[in-house]
Structure 1
Amino acid sequence: MKQIKGPAIFLAQFISDEAPFNKLVDICQWASNLGYKAIQMPTSNPEIFDLEKAAQSQDYCDEVTSIIAQAGLTISELSTHLQGQLVAVHPAYDEMFDNFAPEHLRGDPTNRTQWANDQLMLAAKASRNLGLKTHVTFSGALLWHTFYPWPQRPQGLVEDGFKELAARWLPILDYFDEMGVDVCYELHPGEDLHDGVTFERFLAATNNHPRVNILYDPSHFVLQQLDYLAFIDLYHSRIKAFHVKDAEFNANGKSGIYGGYQSWQDRPGRFRSLGDGQVDFNGIFSKLTQYGFDGWAVLEWECCIKDSRQGAKEGAPFIQQHLITPTAKAFDDFSAMATDTQRNKRILGIN
């Protein structure tokens, strides 16, 4: 069995204009001081990491790698969650998602989509330049507004939606394949890829593309009331990245998984800091280790109660305590007997 690497931390929720979160060298030292060994790098903050430069310049990648290494860290993956979202946006969400794009592209969905595609291509090249084998992103969504349909969906709508989504992603996936990098989709409500069934639909629509893989995040499955341990049994061969994020679902008489348009603190399902929610991380780390997952265990902090700095401080030892050193032998090896065909026949009662 292989061993999960960690702990790592996703920087997206921490980057800000405030020190030490406004410079790469400083935020890396902050993460290292907390006990993290890797960072998952968002690519939408050029002042921290310039995606275009990373795709075009090996010297820039070497410089970034050196800065990170001086803090005792490495990069687990690059992230294009925001750009991946813009690969497919239904017009109903245009204005809300415009904020993810550069200002000059807002109100221009066609060119915004092309920009997003270009960003993913840059991320593939940058990943190769950095020696990375996995990449994390969102799928975007054309069908999400029909997830609980009324009136009912027209026949063929879902099939057409996944056909179009696949058509948008296939050139990107092929380029990632050329670069030798897996694309790991975070299965997330709001995305057309949000559970096992929708992942299978997309996989089939892309002709089982070898680069279509999963960023496993149990918190989103808790909020959907999906069996996140059984999910690992079903899809472990496609799980290539891992967000360690906690969540809880507290059933009540007023609202359920849809949340009643309430704030995160008031919803039955809400994200929590590690150890404060209901996720069975012992079970998760055991199953992922059993199936040979050797990627990074990456903290993603999104808690509606606890401060992010406290969550980050507590996250590194939490992950470290859950890492499993795989056993090199069976527990009952001490009583093993050498192979003896004749003895086996006698035990089986075979003449």
Structure 2
Amino acid sequence: MSKMKGPGIFLAQFAGPEAPFNTLANITKWASDLGYKGVQIPTWEIGLIDLAKAAESKEYCDGLRAICAENGVQITELSTHLQGQLVATHPAYDEQFDGFAPAHLRGNPKARQEWAVEQLMLAAKASKNLGLTAHATFSGALLWHTIYPWPQRPEGLVETGFKELAKRWLPILNAFDAAGVDLCYELHPGEDLHDGVTFERFLEATGNHPRCHILYDPSHFVLQQLDYIQFIDYYHDRIKMFHVKDAEFNPNGRSGIYGGYQGWKDRPGRFRSLGDGQVDFNGIFSQFAKYNFDGWAVLEWECCLKHPEDGACEGVDFINHHIIRTTDKAFDDFAGGAHNEAANLRILGLD
């Protein structure tokens, strides 16, 4: 049997002030009614979870789990994407990322970064209290403004950047280790961890930390023109989470990977609802079956065209269709025979 679990849904793009998206009880019933079995919870959505309380109180976490169970779903993981971004932010992006922090911290990068670290520490404890084994986040970025080497990067700049990034994350990784939870970085443009090479640099800088892992999202690799199938061959032992998200890349004579500062609808690289893009999900799910991936297949909706509720509705059948029930026998077993060493030696001409 397949070890992959699903379908799950990431609630970040759906949570809001209006029912049924305004409370954990309402949104989990909505998700369950669509056919989802798991929900991934964004911890910055205070209508869904009180992160500090979840870190302090096992009883509170039991209540969250009970709400989900009553509606027929379970919590797959928690997410600190926005807080993780603020663990490492280059000053050029301070004003843009201020909105990720509470209002009283805006304009104060040092206090904002300290708050972000505290949020990750709380998330480690909350994940443990909820009985979870993996957590989703972003790495943040100190080097992203140098992504294209012009002017050329000074010697040692990249090494210094990853050394500092690892220094900031090591106490957090240790906290997740103490909680027994894998910390999974979504490899994403805008983050210093955005592809395999950058993940390797960071992993090495952390001393190959046992809790340093990957949230695999093929949509970001389509936009980078990276071989997302072979990526699984390279990093399957570090992939602990999976966002099922589609994308397409249609370059033209006017614009390519960089997108020309255009909006999402007009960029050559665009996120799409499941089945509307170019991602080879048959190949991806086959790779995960090959390596016995036992995490959740979680829909993340970010389509630039289709309504989110339509994307969520269609995503259930899409994921169910792609999860592979793995075989427990070889197709040619009927033609085989029992082990016979003497016969094997005769076949090899060694009797």
Scaled by the length of structure 2, what TM-score is found? 0.99
Once residues 74 and 282 of structure 1 are traced to their aligned partners in structure 2, the CA distance between those partners, rounded to angstroms, is 26
Task: Give the Å deviation of 1:213.
Answer: 0.3
**Alignment partners' CA distance in 2, 1:18 and 1:281:** 33
For 1:165 and 1:116, locate their aligned partners in 2 and report how far apart those are by CA, in whole Å: 14
The residue that corresponds to 1:178 in the other structure is 178
Shift of 1:2: 4.7
Counterpart position of 2:246: 246
CA deviation digits over 1:250-273, x for unaligned, max 9? 010001100000000000000000
Once the two structures are TM-superposed, the CA of residue 349 in structure 1 deviates from its matched residue by 0.8
Kindly state the Cα deviation for residue 174 of structure 1 after the two structures are TM-superposed. 0.4
Q: Distance in 1 between matches of 2:117 and 2:24?
A: 26
2-side partners of 1:248 and 1:301: how far apart?
A: 14
Q: Which amino acid aligns with 2:36?
A: Y
Partner residue, 1:218: 218
Instruction: In structure 2, give the amino acid aligned to 1:188.
Output: H
- The secondary structure found in structure 2 opposite 1:231 is helix
C-alpha separation in 2, matches of 1:346 and 1:63 = 66
2:256 equivalent in structure 1: 256
SS in 1 for 2:292: coil
Q: Deviations over 1:256-298 (max 9, x none)?
A: 1000000000000000000000000000000011101010000
* Cross-structure match for 2:307: 307
Report the AA paired with residue 124 of structure 1: A
**What is the root-mean-square deviation of aligned Cα atoms in Å?**
0.7
The runs of 4+ residues in structure 1 deviating greater than 2 Å are none
Instruction: Specify the alignment match of 1:158 in structure 2.
Output: 158
- Give the AA of the match of 1:315: G
Q: Report the AA paired with residue 320 of structure 1.
A: N
- The size of the alignment, in residue pairs, is 351
Displacement of 1:334 after TM fit? 1.0
Alignment of 1:191-206 (within 5 A): 191-206=191-206
The answer on whether the counterparts of 2:2 and 2:324 sit within 8 Å (CA) in structure 1 is: no
Worse overlay, 152-161 or 323-332: 323-332
Cα deviation digits, residues 71-128 of structure 1 (max 9, x gap): 1100110000000000000000000000000000000000100000000000000000
> What's the counterpart of residue 329 of structure 2?
329
Report what 1:319 is aligned to.
319
**CA contact 2:3–2:293 (8 Å) conserved in 1:** yes
Whole-angstrom CA distance in 2 between matches of 1:275 and 1:84: 30
Aligned to 1:275: 275
- Equivalent in the alignment of 1:138: 138
CA distance in 2: counterparts of 1:31 and 1:244, whole angstroms: 16
Could you say what secondary structure the match of 2:231 adopts?
helix
Q: What CA distance in whole angstroms lies between the structure 2 residues aligned with 1:282 and 1:288?
A: 10
The one-letter code matched in structure 2 to 1:108 is: N
Where 1:327 maps in the other structure, the secondary structure is coil
Provide the C-alpha distance between the structure 2 equivalents of 1:150 and 1:343, rounded to a whole number of angstroms.
66
Shift of 1:181: 0.2
What is the rounded CA distance, in whole Å, between the counterparts of 2:251 and 2:89 in structure 1?
A: 32
Match of 1:89 in 2: 89
* One-letter amino acid matched to 1:305: L
Q: In the aligned structure 2, how far is the partner of 1:94 from the partner of 1:243?
A: 28
Distance 1:105 1:97 in 2: 11
Map of 2:340 onto structure 1: 340
